[in-house]
């Protein structure tokens, strides 16, 4: 009997650890954005320090942490509401919806590649932002409402030198071109090369705080760059650009 109970407790413990590891893994898949990861790390540190505050006798701080931890589920729902909504939408998709979304994503990528290649060939600078899980609205300054289907012709016409909004960024949200002529926050990273221009610095600055994908065409060199997660990949040709965009923009459940 004792051996049976011991084996049962061992099995329950193993299942407990496996379930926890799975939940942590799924949570990390949801919070892929740089800001969300930092928030999650902060909450983990807060959990770890909880007992230290109590043992050290910090009554006020401990009271505050206790109340925060008591509402942790609500806090997480508020912080990750966009990620949770995206995950629920993904779970509700049927096969037809997945195929349709795949076609729309492939079409969007093709239009972006054609536009970037055409602008690069003419050495016309461009800054194209594609929203992913995290909303961009908080970080966009100025800008003109567009609300149009994404086509290479529209993107190219926006960045022509005589266009009044050619200096700003084009914003793509939910598969549509929603805004143009937007100003983005510049990177504050002092280690960024001084040879990079304003467009590249803006792309780095935005992707340091959200999970967007930013495509940059250099006006000086005509080279195409892709920026994500505060990191830049330069000198891309059409084939490599298409491959990278598919990896970054196609949701995991579409692959």
Domains and CATH numbers, the chain: 2-26+33-91 (no CATH), 96-250 (3.40.1700.10)
User: What is the chain's pLDDT, residue by residue, as a tens digit (255 residues)?
Assistant: 545 555 666 666 666 667 656 655 655 555 555 555 666 666 677 666 666 666 666 666 667 666 666 666 666 666 666 666 655 655 555 444 455 677 888 899 999 999 999 999 999 999 999 998 888 887 777 788 888 999 999 999 999 988 888 888 999 998 899 999 999 989 888 888 888 889 999 999 999 989 899 999 999 999 999 999 999 999 999 999 999 999 998 764 344
Q: What is the DSSP letter of 187?
A: P
The C-alpha angle 105, 108, 110, rounded to 5 degrees, equals 110
Which positions ≥6 away from 49 have C-beta within 8 Å?
Answer: 65
Which positions ≥6 away from 48 have C-beta within 8 Å?
Answer: none
| pLDDT value of residue 75 | 62
pTM: 0.63
| pLDDT value of residue 147 | 85
């Amino acid at each position: 009997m004792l051996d049976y109970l011991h084996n049962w407790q061992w099995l329950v413990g193993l299942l407990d650890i496996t379930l926890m590891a799975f939940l942590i893994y799924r949570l990390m898949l949801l919070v892929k954005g740089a800001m969300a990861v930092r928030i999650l790390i902060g909450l983990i540190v807060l959990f770890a320090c909880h007992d230290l505050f109590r043992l050290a006798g910090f009554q006020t701080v401990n009271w505050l942490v206790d109340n925060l931890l008591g509402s942790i589920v609500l806090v997480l729902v508020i912080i990750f509401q966009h990620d949770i909504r995206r995950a629920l939408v993904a779970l509700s998709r049927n096969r037809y919806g997945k195929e349709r979304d795949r076609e729309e994503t492939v079409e969007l990528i093709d239009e972006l590649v054609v536009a970037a290649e055409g602008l690069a060939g003419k050495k016309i600078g461009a800054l194209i932002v594609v929203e992913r899980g995290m909303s961009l609205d908080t970080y966009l300054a100025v800008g003109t409402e567009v609300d149009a289907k994404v086509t290479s012709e529209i993107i190219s016409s926006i960045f022509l030198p005589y266009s009044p909004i050619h200096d700003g960024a084009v914003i793509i949200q939910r598969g549509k071109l929603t805004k143009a002529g937007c100003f983005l926050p510049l990177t504050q990273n002092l280690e960024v090369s001084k040879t990079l221009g304003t467009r590249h610095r803006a792309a780095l600055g935005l992707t340091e705080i959200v999970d967007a994908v930013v495509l940059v065409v250099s006006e000086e060199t005509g080279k195409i760059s892709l920026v994500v997660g505060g990191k830049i990949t330069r000198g891309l040709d059409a084939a490599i650009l298409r491959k990278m965009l598919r990896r970054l923009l196609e949701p995991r459940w579409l692959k």
